[in-house]
Homo-oligomer: A and B are copies of this chain.
């Protein structure tokens, strides 16, 4: 992709042909964890034993290469279900094992455990976190078409077979209950609910997923979409003895950068020899007024060019999940998925995955609940939670710094809304808030929006 400069490539895997390198990871239906770990047992003083995937094994759900044609032919003989854009993103998520040990769209027992307990109990009695329903909705007509079949083919908008779902179970989609238990509100205007639930079918179909081939979007960003297995291999290759993940869906400013470098410093102090940062922007569905993925990736590139993060100890990749904006419920999913990608430290900030209440004039979630819930969540005890320190613009230093409560008058808090308003109006933030190149990308993005006569910002470009 032309937009990505050499400097950003440095943050990525350096193999000349990642496709080949990782092909073997893509073919099996599941990769035994020890196989991944095996690669990590290098000579030298650092033993690269990455955190185990949830359930012990990183699940991959791809059809083996030599069986693909057979499966495609089989798919022509069974009922077909067309996937929405968000459905396809969930197939992507499931196929690569971000939701390990899930092996497909949830059946009712998994759905109920997710809604009520934010976790799943496995056959051996152990518990893994699972806070967000990963489900596929169908309507009455589709249910009728499925009839007595125990398998269905999942197809994309061009009717190409994406996957086969087998041993299916169809159960009721109580949308109100799903929304209430996931978001803690049923107020109209929740972006994900409006996009993917309210108008979806009244049934959910769960089953075992076999994905014909890795999901590709052809938007020039696919090479940043590293699977958990690929990320694990990369961390092992770099000899990481700690991996700290930073989830983001917004442009990076110097406060974030400060936080990430400071986290690495703290991990070194704790005795780790080679902590590696996973800078992991979310790449699936986001709401219309968020900055689209392609522009965020451009912005991240400029920030990285600025040299505040060390390419040797930073991996940039895209997390393919859609965004729920479900606050304390969703932050667990964000953390759990990163365990599966090999991260054993997770940075959590103020009001993670939060947003304004869609109807009332307040934030939907208490700003502290996300980190509190995360620290108590079932199945996440293995993960080290690193709460954000609050960074703000220190007027005395002319740069972003950790907030010092003894001299509050010296600090300026620039919210996401404030940042976007400045960029929209082509005003500049204070020097040192964000590198100029990164800021220019933001200004360019808002410039690129042809504001139609009704004054509404058009829907974000599909991720």
- Mark A residues whose CB is within 8 Å of B: 108-109, 112-113, 115-119, 121, 125, 127, 131, 172, 174, 176-177, 180-181, 183-187, 328-329, 365-366, 369, 372-373, 376-378, 381
Is A366 in contact with B329, judged by CB distance below 8 angstroms? no
Q: Considering the complex, give the chain B residue whose CB is closest to the CB of A171.
A: B366
Is A119 in contact with B378, judged by CB distance below 8 angstroms? yes
Specify which chain B residues have a CB less than 8 angstroms from the CB of A109 in the assembled complex.
372, 376
A353 vs B181: C-alpha distance in the bound complex, in angstroms?
18
Instruction: Please indicate which of the listed interface residues A131, A180, A381 has the most CB atoms of chain B within 10 Å of its own CB.
Output: A180
Distance between A142 CB and nearest chain B CB, rounded to angstroms: 20
Contacts A172-B366, A377-B117; A112 near B372 (Cβ below 8 A): yes
A184 vs B186: C-alpha distance in the bound complex, in angstroms?
9
A217 vs B369: C-alpha distance in the bound complex, in angstroms?
38
Is A373 in contact with B184, judged by CB distance below 8 angstroms? no
Is A113 in contact with B376, judged by CB distance below 8 angstroms? yes
Specify which chain B residues have a CB less than 8 angstroms from the CB of A377 in the assembled complex.
116-117
Instruction: Please indicate which of the listed interface residues A118, A183, A378 has the most CB atoms of chain B within 10 Å of its own CB.
Output: A378
A36 vs B4: C-alpha distance in the bound complex, in angstroms?
70
Is A176 in contact with B185, judged by CB distance below 8 angstroms? yes
Is A180 in contact with B172, judged by CB distance below 8 angstroms? no
Specify which chain B residues have a CB less than 8 angstroms from the CB of A119 in the assembled complex.
117, 378
Instruction: Please indicate which of the listed interface residues A119, A172, A177 has the most CB atoms of chain B within 10 Å of its own CB.
Output: A177
Is B186 in contact with A177, judged by CB distance below 8 angstroms? no
Specify which chain B residues have a CB less than 8 angstroms from the CB of A177 in the assembled complex.
184-185, 365
Contacts A119-B378, A369-B112, A377-B116; A180 near B186 (Cβ below 8 A): yes
Distance between A105 CB and nearest chain B CB, rounded to angstroms: 18
In the assembled complex, 17 residue pairs joining A and B whose CB atoms fall closer than 8 Å, in A order, are A108-B372, A112-B369, A115-B184, A116-B377, A117-B118, A117-B119, A117-B376, A117-B378, A119-B378, A121-B376, A121-B378, A125-B381, A180-B180, A180-B184, A181-B181, A181-B184, A378-B378
Q: Considering the complex, give the chain B residue whose CB is closest to the CB of A176.
A: B185
What are the 9 closest A-B residue pairs judged by CB atoms, nearest first?
A: A177-B184, A180-B180, A180-B184, A186-B186, A181-B184, A113-B376, A180-B185, A116-B373, A176-B185
Is B329 in contact with A116, judged by CB distance below 8 angstroms? yes
Is A366 in contact with B183, judged by CB distance below 8 angstroms? no
A190 vs B203: C-alpha distance in the bound complex, in angstroms?
26
Instruction: Please indicate which of the listed interface residues A108, A117, A119, A366 has the most CB atoms of chain B within 10 Å of its own CB.
Output: A117
